[in-house]
Amino acid sequence: MGQEIELKLTLDEKALAQLPGCEPFADADFASKGTKKLKATYFDSPANALRQKGVVLRLRDEDGRLIQTLKGKKAFGSLAAGRAEFESRIPKTRTTPDFNRLPPDLKKSLQTLLNGNSVEPLFVTDVDRTIGMLKTDAGDSIELALDRGFIRAGRRETRVSELELELKKGDPASLYRLALQLTETVPVRIGVRTKGERGYALANALGPKSVKGEFVHLPKKATVEQALDQVLRHCLAHIVSNEPALVETADEEALHQMRVGLRRLRAALAVFAPVLDKAMMQEVNAKARRLAGLLGVARDYDVFRGELVAPLKESGEESIKVLDRAATLEQITAWDEGLRAVSSIEFTRTCLSLALHIEEKSWLKRAEQDPSMAMMLAMPARKFAERALTKRLKKAKSLGDHIDSLSLTERHELRKRLKSLKYAVGFFASLYPKKPVSKQIKRLSALQDVFGSLNDLAVAEEIVRSLIDKSADTPNQLAIATGGGRVLGWHGAQAETHWQDAADAWGAFRAAAPFWRT
């Protein structure tokens, strides 16, 4: 199968029409290729067996030629991910795929996935594609595909307006450099979902969904540089993959997952700080921290209303209703600010810049000046992991061993240190035997759950104080204070029980030998 490397950007139709004449496409050759009419039908079993494995099967009419395409699973961890594909020309009279046109191994794999089921048409893409070619000063060759049209599934349809940058020859980093130049001219978003993914969603009447971060799979003999590359790619993909569900449907879980992705990214920067370019690390960390902070306010109000206020609303008390209404207004404001930030061109630039840092391996700049850094990048990732994990475990124990006498501030700090340790464990888990790693993650998760509920109460106290202050000199201030007191009192009564759970969970965690030393 061949390999395609492309970066998809979405933009409105007006901006799309402007692209051929604007920078950085002024020197691109659009005239010689012209515009193609592309109409593709996508096939799958009734149970969507191919979609579940990330496989795409389609027939596409390209100006009178019928092309059958089989694409493998899209790699998780890169905005311009490589994807295996096999194309073959088949008779125009066919209306269904011809598996005999596939190499024997692909045919067998496809039939295994379908498990004896036939395929049927699910949706159609009908697109006018304007093709251009761009040669960079560095000698890279990039195909520019301007697509406008529709995706149709039965009576449902959605519009297509996007730009695909496909690398024909050269360095994948050139795609990100070009995309970043483009952001200076027109507003674009990173096209997270392919036409196929959008078509499946349309056929099944589903909107974009939240995405959890996938497991980082490292080779057993991975170097520090290989681990750094893969971890950063996965953190970035975790963040960007949640943009559609967050922006298009205001999905609460997508907001939560993007925030987790940002925290994982910041944790990764801290873990790999010894080998990272400092300027790059500070730039990315500052932007991730700012965005995580904006999303964090919205998340705090989601938890406050959904988990702390909600159980008391059944009482029908007027003070609880007034408190909830006041919190709702602040929640809406926080969400508006978060959505504006994620929808902004600055978010797109931040993600593209990080992707470019990864493709250019910006950490090598530091290694070129410092031989010790070059040596560290080349060392086994497992040896590096032992140091990083031991350091974070030691920091957690310095507080956890005094768990019975910790102040609220210290409890919060312990929670952050445990979270940092858990993220680091996740980065390097694949380097170690699965069973002991799973046990360690389970113990850390138990601790996080307990500390999370205690932190929710601490955040709730801040929210109540803020709502009281903002309602000063209004008729609602007393009701908000009364309702807030009820909420904090009701949940505070359970806090001591939770804290005992934390002490027990810490004891179980403390007694277990670190898996990276066994």
Say what the pTM is: 0.91
Joined together, the tokens standing for residue 5 give 């490397």
CA torsion, ordered 331, 334, 337, 339, to nearest 10 deg: -60
- Residue 350: what pLDDT? 95
pLDDT per position as a tens digit, 106-147: 999 999 999 989 999 999 999 999 998 989 888 899 999 999
- Structural domains of the chain, ranges and CATH numbers in brackets: 2-206 (2.40.320.10), 237-364+378-517 (1.40.20.10)
- Residue 235: what pLDDT? 96
Joined together, the tokens standing for residue 242 give 């949640």
- Rounded distance, CA 178 to CA 168, Å? 14
pLDDT per position as a tens digit, 479-518: 999 999 999 888 877 766 777 777 888 888 888 889 998 6
Give the Å distances, CA to CA, from 251 to 207, 242, 489. Answer: 10, 9, 30
- Rounded distance, CA 238 to CA 260, Å? 8
Phi, psi of 452 (to 5 degrees): -65, -45
Q: Are 129 and 143 in contact (CB under 8 A)?
A: no
Of the pLDDT bands very low, low, confident and very high (cuts 50, 70, 90), residue 2 is low
Give ∠ CA 47-53-59 in degrees, rounded to 5: 75
pLDDT per position as a tens digit, 302-345: 999 999 999 998 888 999 999 999 999 999 999 999 999 999 99
- Residue 5: what pLDDT? 87
Please tell me the chain's helix, strand, coil percentages from 3-state DSSP, rounded to the nearest 5.
60, 15, 25
Q: Which of these, 164, 167, 86, lies nearest to 125 by C-alpha position?
A: 164
- Rounded distance, CA 87 to CA 175, Å? 24
Joined together, the tokens standing for residue 407 give 């102040």
